[in-house]
Amino acid sequence: MGVAVKLRWKRIINQLRYLYEECDLVESISTDCAPEFQLYYEEFCERNDIDLNDLSSQNAARVEELFGKPPPAAEEEELSEDVGEESLVLRDKTKPEIHEDPEYKMSQEEQVIHDSFRKVFLKLALILHPDKIDPSLSEEAQKISAAKFQKIKDAFEERRYFVLLDHAEHYNIAVPKNYKQQIKWMKKEIFQIEGKIEKEKITYNYAFAECDTDQERDQLIQRFMAQVFGPIFTEKG
């Protein structure tokens, strides 16, 4: 029974590790694609003789409701950066709505797990903390150790415990053996991260990154404008 539980624990750690990497990648794609989406949006309007200044003025209340503030005038240099970042929070309504989760608070059981990994973190800190690094090491080796410490510190604070487990194995540090508790927590975490990934994937910025042709990009811009400015811009089949 103990072996089976440990194998499940290892499998779910791998699943969690993959999902964190996937989430980081999806968020990076969405953020990096924001300027491209905005630039194509502006070019689309130019090609179709659409005056963004006029359009934004006519729909100021609707734009403010969606974005929290009216976008600046189209000729201002900051337009691409400001509107591009704001469009990150605008979802494609042709896809299922993903609701925000309430502010996360650890349960008593999760706090127990967190405290158990605190012990792992402290043992790693005794090895990797800048104050504990052997001064006889080369400057490069000291920088690597300091970077590792920052990584495990961030991982502990963000509850990415698998990072601590990886480093603990490397330094032969004992890890918590409350496998069943960890599995239960990790299942909840997997559910949360999957929701976060799906939420990011239905932003227009991410959808733009998935487009392969200009026709697909034009249709996406039309859906975006229909949501922001009204059905007159609904894509034409």
Residue 127 lies in a domain: yes
For the cut 90, the answer to whether the pLDDT of residue 2 exceeds it is: no
Write down the mean pLDDT value for the chain. 83
Is 101 a member of any domain?
no
Comparing 97 with 183, the larger pLDDT belongs to: 183
Is 217 a member of any domain? yes
Q: What is the domain count for the chain?
A: 2
Q: Are residues 220 and 185 in the same domain?
A: no
Rounded Cα distance between 84 and 34, Å, is 5
Whether the per-residue pLDDT at 172 is higher than 70: the answer is yes
Q: By residue range, what is the domain housing residue 221? A: 18-95+202-233
Tens of pLDDT, residue by residue over 80-131, are 334 444 443 466 555 555 445 545 566 777 788 999 999 999 999 999 898 8
Q: What is the mean pLDDT of residues 224-237?
A: 72
In a domain, 160, yes or no: yes
59 & 122 share domain: no
Mark whether 59 and 175 lie in a shared domain.
Answer: no
* pLDDT tens-digit map of 190-220: 999 999 999 999 999 999 999 999 999 999 9
Please check whether residues 77 and 119 belong to one and the same domain: no
Percentage above 90 pLDDT, the chain: 57
Residue 158 has, within 13 A of its CA and on its CB side, a CA count of 12
Segment 45-55 shows an average pLDDT of 88
> Could you tell me the pLDDT band of residue 235, with boundaries at 50, 70 and 90?
low
Helix axes 2-47, 214-229, angle to 10 degrees: 80
Indicate if 165 and 91 belong to the same structural domain. no
Burial class (CB in 10 A: 0-12, 13-18, 19+), 174: exposed
Q: Do 208 and 154 belong together in one domain? A: no
Same domain, yes or no: 31 and 85: yes
